Chains A and B, each alone.
Chain A
Amino acid sequence: MFETKSGIFFVAGLAFFAFAFLSNALVPALMYRDVPEQTAEQVVNGNVLFQLEDLAQRYPEAFRTAWGDAPVEEAAAAEWYVKTGAEALREGRKIYVGEGCWHCHSQFVRPVSNESRRWGPVSESPEYQNELQRPVMFGTRRVGPDLSREGGRRSNDWHAVHFFRPTDLSPGSPMPEYPWLFDGAADRPNRRGLALLVYVQWLGSWLDSYPYYETYLPSDLKDVELPAAAAQ
């Protein structure tokens, strides 16, 4: 068996591989089969809706160009926001993957190394049982911080400026700039930019500890005369 073609093909090639697959992949799959996998629509919770409405008020033109207007009637509007939220989350995840965000940001908080003190509750399996974790975004490297509890910590306009030019907010950051998520300026995110904002604000939105960074009120700053340099 040890030096024959069939022994190597069937035992080493197929049987050992199958044993590993059954014990290491099938076992967790069976263990979690009772935790239903949620769709993107199902993970659109109140916090995500709050962020969506915030985006609609902050960037009305961009929001309308991307997803149109919410119906006026209340029940239809609620339904529309869920549908739009799910669409944005799917698209945001695609951008998160396509831009390689997940190669510098993890999405799990470990029960060691003071991580729960830095970021919040330790990650648990049910958090990952949804369509947007297919494949799962655990990540393997942290150049930047973990993002699984990022949602709600910072405002949408903070994230927008940060995606546009990270060093404006965090001077030493090695994070690349993503101007193609915007129409030329940090306050004009395009559809892709808005989708990524929704996705980032979604992370951790299912937890009780989701922070409300602020309740958005229309700023009265626009009435203030800004010096030319600051207005840029």
Chain B
Amino acid sequence: MTADTASPASIPRHSELVEERLVCWYFLAALAFLFVSMLGGFLMGFQLIRHNPLSGIELLSPGRWRMVHTNAIAYGFLANAFLGILHWVVPRLTLRPVLSRGLSYAIFFVWQGVVLATAVGILLGEAQGLEWGETPVWIDPVAQAGLLLVAINFMAPIVRVQGPIYVTLWYFIAALVWTFLTYAMGNFVPQYFVSGTAAGAVGGLFIHDLVGLFVTPLGWGMMYYFVPILLGKPIWSHGLSLVGFWGLAFFYPLQGIHHFLYTPIPMFLQYGAVVSTIAVELVVTTVIINFFGTLRGRGSEFWTNLPIRWFYTGMVFYFLTCLQCSLQVTLTFQQLIHFTDWVVGHAHLVMFGVFSMWQLGVMTYLFPRLLKQDWHSRRLCEWHFWLSAGGILVMASDLTLAGLFQGWSWMGLMHWDHSVEISQPFWVARLFAGLAIFGGQMCFAWNLFQTWQAARRERSAEAAPAAGLAI
């Protein structure tokens, strides 16, 4: 993979490379915030169907918890899980440990502080008026410094690799740069430098780049790493990998304004965003083809190999998301679906259906290796998968459909209450889909706890660590 010419004897051992305890901590922190986020989602979900049992309590206000919901997912769940995965992948791929063990632990604590402070700040009503960036303004500089340290910590081993580097590292290098720049742009420019319409353009770029330049490249980078390892074969086409990366790198950053079509932002910029969005869907198609080309001939692994099933299900959802996106980004569709639940469904499909599913797949793969213990129950793993995948499929379809009806109601100049009334059955269905997803994660948490207990028992019995870790 790397161009290193090291002989097998001089390859450092896994234990010298990977700080397993830290990977584990990151995953556990990620799961904790996932539960916080889901609780926030429930609060808003119950409010929408007008059955919020905790109504009228300031610190439990659904409006505030809605912001905790999205921020806990972006910075608590996704970022923590990615950091854990980076601590596993980067040293193994570069054959060098990260810059500093101490720094790694420091970053862990700083980042948990940032996320907790964000949640507390939002709950106290201190949110910043920037979607996905509601982190109170006084935390932004700390988060920014944290992102810089993350980049330095992981870039250190990467820059020492000689010659061309593997696809995963393309994505990771780009993601480390982009995440830092995106966070700086989104949190400081519209707050301190520009206002009004121009700030809207920056806000659009931020919302979009957070998904496209932080989550997406890290997600695909880990797919390029884990899929060939799990299938025991190389990626189908290196040429398509190149097309995928460079196409994403060029077109993705240009699309932010498509979040604000028909605003006073100049029309030529809106057209540019629409065109580049449709262009990136073509690029995405090449990436999907490449991965399904890799799976070709090994299709049965989809059913037998759990992480592979998580990954490829996520990829199918990714393709659906992008297909949906290439439709909804057109001005014709925008007239109808902008401001509706269609967009909410789309966001859930991307953030949970794709990236969370991938990370849960990686966790399914790595936890037995971190704990040196097979999963307590394969059946619970299956429940975790099917409840998650089924739940998000129902939620996304339900909200997409709801969006169409809401759009037609508004366009037809019905009384506003009409759009709320017709949404009720969809919101109830969405709540049940959310409960299914929550149930899935409960299965996972219980299974993890049992596996950990079993690992502890085994260690205390001083049994030899299990050699076979087949899932």
- Chain A residues proximal to chain B, CB less than 8 Å: 2-5, 8-9, 11-14, 16-17, 19-21, 23-25, 27-29, 31-32, 35, 37, 93-95, 97-104, 106, 108, 110-115, 117-118, 123-125, 127-131, 133-145, 167, 170, 172-174, 176-180
Contacts and interface: CB of A to CB of B under 8 A. Distances in A.
Contacts of A115: 410
B61 A99 contact: yes
Point out which of B181, B194, B343 has the most chain A C-beta atoms below 10 A from its C-beta.
B194
B269 A28 contact: yes
B256 A24 contact: yes
B163 to A, nearest CB: 8
Contacts of B343: 140-141
Given A100-B127, A141-B343, A174 B185 contact: no
Contact of A2 (B47, B193, B242, B260): B242
B138 interface: no
A8 B201 contact: no
B413 A114 contact: yes
B174 A174 contact: no
B257 A24 contact: yes
Given A176-B62, A178-B61, 8 more contacts: A5-B159, A8-B174, A24-B254, A25-B201, A37-B195, A100-B63, A139-B339, A172-B420
24 contacts: A2-B242, A9-B174, A11-B249, A12-B250, A14-B181, A16-B250, A17-B177, A29-B194, A32-B196, A100-B61, A100-B66, A100-B67, A108-B263, A110-B335, A112-B262, A114-B411, A133-B199, A134-B191, A134-B196, A136-B195, A136-B196, A142-B410, A173-B50, A178-B61
A87 B308 CA distance: 57
A118 B407 CA distance: 14
Contacts of A173: 50, 417, 420
A20 B417 contact: no
Nearest to A105: B339
Contacts of A93: 129
Query: What size tier do the contact residues of chain B reach?
Result: 35 or more
Contact of A99 (B64, B165, B263): B64
A112 B335 contact: yes
Contacts of B194: 25, 29
Interface stretch (B51-59, B103-111, B279-287, B290-298): B51-59
B269 A21 contact: no
A176 B363 CA distance: 37
Majority SS at the chain B contact face? helix
Contacts of B164: 3-4
Nearest to B131: A140
Given A24-B201, A125-B196, A134-B199, A176 B67 contact: no
B264 to A, nearest CB: 4
B170 interface: yes
B174 A138 contact: no
The 9 closest A-B pairs by CB, nearest first: A100-B63, A128-B196, A13-B177, A20-B253, A98-B125, A12-B249, A3-B164, A135-B190, A110-B262
Given A110-B262, A176-B63, A24 B273 contact: yes
Contacts of A139: 339
A173 B287 CA distance: 44
A5 B165 contact: yes
Contacts of B56: 177, 179
Contact of B264 (A20, A124, A167): A124
B128 interface: yes
A95 B62 CA distance: 14
Given A21-B205, A141-B343, A174-B49, A95 B196 contact: no
A95 to B, nearest CB: 7
A159 B169 CA distance: 55
A130 B173 contact: no
A77 B43 CA distance: 45
